Amino acid sequence: MGDKIEVRCCQNLKTPYITFIWAEDKNGLIGKAGNLPWNLPADMKFFKETTMNDVVVMGRKTYESIPKRPLKNRINIVLTKQLDYKADGAIVCHSKEDVLNYIQEKQLQKPIHVIGGVSVFNLFKEEVNILYRTIIDETFKGDTYMPEINYKYFRVIDVTEGVVDEKNIYSHRFFIYERKKLVSIFN
Ligand SMILES: NC(=O)c1ccc[n+]([C@@H]2O[C@H](COP(=O)([O-])OP(=O)(O)OC[C@H]3O[C@@H](n4cnc5c(N)ncnc54)[C@H](OP(=O)(O)O)[C@@H]3O)[C@@H](O)[C@H]2O)c1
């Protein structure tokens, strides 16, 4: 134990490969007024452990929703159309091609975790090989929904029931899916 989940579950994958990692409620809700609709520390812990020492790619709004940014001990890549955007300690990219060029130029041999939001998940739909999907068994109010994913191209490789306690009051499950026919980032 103590290994990162990727190491245990994704041994057939060659780095760099793309993952999505997110939490959604029963209706696929992921955001509310620029933040998460819930407080679930166990999911934050899962997120931290899964992404630690790797690369995280996110939209500008998701980046600005992180209280202590950039995320520590990870290469943070922020997507924005604003050419003068500054994000101390993060890499700013202006397109998908910019992100892929950065990964290639730096020869990053690490998992690349796309952490949202909606348009960034949509941007990498064809390249993603692993899905880390936390399902929270509740219905919340909010304004941002996970884009559709064609789950028929993926198989579930792990499901873990989250522990409900006084700090984590919502029933939740951690699903990990792998693409049935793995794809490469660079074609
Ligand atoms: N539950 C979860 O797991 C989870 C995960 C992530 C986010 N969220 C929530 O989702 C919400 C934020 O997500 P969002 O979908 O509204 O916004 P977002 O994707 O985080 O950010 C959108 C911004 O990203 C930039 N962007 C997107 N695509 C781009 C491209 N192709 N090229 C260049 N820049 C691009 C643009 O920035 P500019 O406007 O600067 O040009 C765009 O306005 C928050 O509520 C957050 O808490 C939840």
pLDDT along the chain (187 residues), means of 10: 57 90 98 98 98 98 97 98 98 98 96 98 97 98 98 97 98 97 89
Arch. (CATH architecture) of 15-179: 3-Layer(aba) Sandwich (3.40)
Residue 144 CA to ligand 1 centre (angstroms): 10
Query: Would you say 154 and 44 are in contact if contact means Cβ atoms under 8 Å apart?
Result: no
Binding-site residues, ligand 1, Cβ < 6 A: 22-23, 30-32, 34-36, 58-62, 65, 79-82, 94-96, 115-120, 123, 144
Given this model, what pLDDT does residue 9 score? 65
Given this model, what pLDDT does residue 30 score? 98
Given this model, what pLDDT does residue 54 score? 98
Given this model, what pLDDT does residue 1 score? 43
Given this model, what pLDDT does residue 12 score? 77
State which ligand 1 atom lies nearest to the alpha carbon of 79. Answer: 34
Given this model, what pLDDT does residue 41 score? 98
Given this model, what pLDDT does residue 96 score? 98
Name the residue ranges covered by the structural domains of the chain. Answer: 15-179
The Cα 130–Cα 19 span in angstroms is 5
State which ligand 1 atom lies nearest to the alpha carbon of 33. Answer: 45
Given this model, what pLDDT does residue 6 score? 57
